[in-house]
């Protein structure tokens, strides 16, 4: 009887690892799509100079301090809440009400755009000169995708404690990996 319960739970819609992986990859692709959608018009000449004057990025190793464990941990501590906050939406019960669910959806999408559009605009404005300063971006976007994807699953069906911890652990690992890459691989003095 216990085996039948487990197999039903494992095959429940939205619970299979393949569905979770597919949702994660779709979310990751959407983040890159937003980034590139912002980069393309700027790179095509639609205000690259204006974007550069607004962002005023100084792309020089002298602006970046050398990597230390304290800087890596501080960066990870800054980025983890940005990526993991959607896990709290399920805990707050926002999936139980259609109005709250729509508000949470809007908040998640708004935060995704707030993170991806400026980076895309910077990529369009600075082009290849920016690339050495953002080697962590694939992992950062993966961390955001993990956090946002956790909401996709929570809005359909509540996550249990193990699932919530798994999403948090994945998001945390990606954030820490991105912080290590950002501090170690970005040109620094």
pLDDT band per the 50, 70, 90 thresholds, residue 11? very low
Residue 7, pLDDT score: 40
Mean pLDDT in residue range 58-74? 91
Residue pair 123/43 in contact (Cβ under 8 Å)? The answer is yes
Question: With 50 as the cut, is the pLDDT of residue 5 above it?
Answer: no
Residue 156: pLDDT over 50: yes
pTM of the model: 0.88
Q: 6: pLDDT confidence band, cut at 50, 70 and 90? A: very low
Q: Tell me the torsion sign for CA atoms 140, 83, 59, 34.
A: positive
Nearest Cα to Cα of residue 140 among 178, 184, 85, 87: 178
Per-residue model confidence (pLDDT) at position 3:
42
What is the structure's pLDDT at 15?
64
Q: Could you report the per-residue pLDDT of 163-177, keeping only the tens digit for each?
A: 999 999 999 999 999
Is the per-residue pLDDT at 2 higher than 80? no
Average pLDDT over residues 114-140: 96
Above 70 in pLDDT, residue 110?
A: yes
Q: What's the 3-state SS for 61-76?
A: HHHCCCCCHHHHHHHH
The CA dihedral of 42, 24, 106, 174, to the nearest 10 degrees, is -70
SS (H, E, C) 121-134: HHHHHHHHHCHHHC
pLDDT at 147: 95
Six token digits for residue 72: 């890596």
């Amino acid at each position: 009887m216990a085996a039948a319960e487990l197999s039903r739970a494992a095959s429940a819609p939205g619970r299979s690892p393949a569905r979770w992986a597919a949702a994660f990859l779709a979310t990751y692709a959407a983040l890159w799509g937003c980034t590139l959608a912002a980069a393309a018009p700027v790179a095509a000449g639609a205000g690259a100079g204006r974007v550069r004057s607004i962002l005023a990025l100084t792309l020089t190793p002298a602006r970046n301090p050398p990597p230390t464990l304290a800087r890596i941990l501080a960066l990870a501590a800054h980025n983890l809440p940005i990526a993991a906050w959607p896990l709290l939406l399920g805990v707050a019960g926002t999936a139980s009400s259609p109005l709250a669910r729509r508000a949470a959806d809007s908040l998640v999408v708004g935060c995704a755009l707030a993170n991806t559009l400026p980076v895309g605009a910077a990529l369009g404005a600075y082009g290849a000169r920016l690339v050495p300063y953002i080697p962590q971006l694939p992992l950062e976007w993966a961390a955001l995708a993990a956090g946002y994807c956790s909401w996709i699953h929570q809005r359909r069906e509540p996550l249990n404690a193990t699932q919530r911890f798994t999403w948090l652990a994945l998001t945390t690992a990606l954030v820490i990996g991105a912080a290590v890459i950002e501090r170690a691989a970005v040109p620094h003095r």
